[in-house]
Amino acid sequence: MQFGSDNQKAREYQRRADELREIAEDIRDDENRLVLLRIAASYDRLASIGDRIAAGDHGHDSGAVNGGSNGNAASRADRAHSLAS
Protein backbone atom coordinates (compact mmCIF):
# COMPACT_ATOMS: atom_id res chain seq x y z
CA MET A 1 0.00 0.00 0.00
CA GLN A 2 1.38 3.39 -0.98
CA PHE A 3 0.89 6.30 1.41
CA GLY A 4 1.86 9.92 0.90
CA SER A 5 3.80 11.44 3.75
CA ASP A 6 5.08 9.80 6.91
CA ASN A 7 2.33 11.66 8.74
CA GLN A 8 -0.29 10.06 6.49
CA LYS A 9 1.24 6.66 7.17
CA ALA A 10 1.08 7.29 10.90
CA ARG A 11 -2.59 8.31 10.71
CA GLU A 12 -3.46 5.22 8.66
CA TYR A 13 -1.69 2.94 11.14
CA GLN A 14 -3.51 4.65 14.00
CA ARG A 15 -6.84 4.22 12.20
CA ARG A 16 -6.13 0.51 11.76
CA ALA A 17 -5.20 0.13 15.42
CA ASP A 18 -8.40 1.85 16.52
CA GLU A 19 -10.47 -0.30 14.17
CA LEU A 20 -8.92 -3.52 15.49
CA ARG A 21 -9.61 -2.46 19.08
CA GLU A 22 -13.26 -1.83 18.19
CA ILE A 23 -13.53 -5.26 16.60
CA ALA A 24 -11.78 -6.87 19.58
CA GLU A 25 -14.41 -5.44 21.95
CA ASP A 26 -16.99 -7.72 20.33
CA ILE A 27 -14.85 -10.87 20.30
CA ARG A 28 -15.81 -13.27 23.08
CA ASP A 29 -12.92 -15.69 22.64
CA ASP A 30 -10.09 -14.43 24.85
CA GLU A 31 -7.29 -15.80 22.68
CA ASN A 32 -8.62 -14.24 19.47
CA ARG A 33 -9.36 -10.95 21.21
CA LEU A 34 -5.81 -10.84 22.54
CA VAL A 35 -4.40 -11.49 19.06
CA LEU A 36 -6.34 -8.50 17.69
CA LEU A 37 -5.21 -6.30 20.58
CA ARG A 38 -1.59 -7.28 20.03
CA ILE A 39 -1.86 -6.40 16.35
CA ALA A 40 -3.46 -3.08 17.33
CA ALA A 41 -0.53 -2.40 19.69
CA SER A 42 1.86 -3.10 16.80
CA TYR A 43 0.01 -0.59 14.64
CA ASP A 44 0.25 1.89 17.54
CA ARG A 45 4.02 1.43 17.53
CA LEU A 46 4.15 1.95 13.75
CA ALA A 47 2.08 5.13 14.13
CA SER A 48 4.44 6.35 16.84
CA ILE A 49 7.47 5.74 14.65
CA GLY A 50 5.76 7.52 11.73
CA ASP A 51 4.99 10.50 13.96
CA ARG A 52 8.62 10.69 15.07
CA ILE A 53 9.87 10.52 11.49
CA ALA A 54 7.37 13.16 10.35
CA ALA A 55 8.59 15.37 13.20
CA GLY A 56 12.16 15.01 11.95
CA ASP A 57 13.39 12.53 14.54
CA HIS A 58 15.20 9.97 12.41
CA GLY A 59 17.07 8.40 15.32
CA HIS A 60 17.16 4.66 15.62
CA ASP A 61 16.00 4.38 19.20
CA SER A 62 14.98 0.76 19.54
CA GLY A 63 12.67 1.78 22.37
CA ALA A 64 10.18 3.19 19.88
CA VAL A 65 10.10 -0.07 17.97
CA ASN A 66 9.54 -1.98 21.19
CA GLY A 67 6.87 0.35 22.52
CA GLY A 68 9.44 2.45 24.37
CA SER A 69 9.06 6.06 25.35
CA ASN A 70 5.92 7.10 23.51
CA GLY A 71 3.31 7.77 26.17
CA ASN A 72 0.32 7.48 23.84
CA ALA A 73 1.36 4.11 22.45
CA ALA A 74 2.16 2.89 25.95
CA SER A 75 -1.20 3.93 27.33
CA ARG A 76 -3.01 2.35 24.38
CA ALA A 77 -1.05 -0.86 24.89
CA ASP A 78 -1.96 -0.84 28.60
CA ARG A 79 -5.61 -0.35 27.71
CA ALA A 80 -5.42 -3.17 25.16
CA HIS A 81 -3.91 -5.46 27.77
CA SER A 82 -6.62 -4.62 30.30
CA LEU A 83 -9.33 -5.32 27.70
CA ALA A 84 -7.78 -8.71 27.02
CA SER A 85 -7.85 -9.63 30.70
CA–CA distance from 57 to each of 1, 13, 38, 65, 72 (Å)? 23, 18, 25, 13, 17
Q: Is residue 1 part of a domain?
A: no
Q: Is residue 34 part of a domain?
A: yes
Q: Is residue 40 part of a domain?
A: yes
* Digit-coded pLDDT (tens) for 30-75: 999 999 999 999 999 999 998 998 888 766 554 444 444 445 555 5
Q: Is residue 36 part of a domain?
A: yes
Residue span of the structural domain in which 31 resides: 6-84
Structural domain total, the chain: 1
Q: Is residue 51 part of a domain?
A: yes
How many CB atoms sit inside 10 A of residue 54's CB? 15
Quick check: 20 and 44 in contact, CB under 8 A?
A: no
Its pTM stands at 0.64
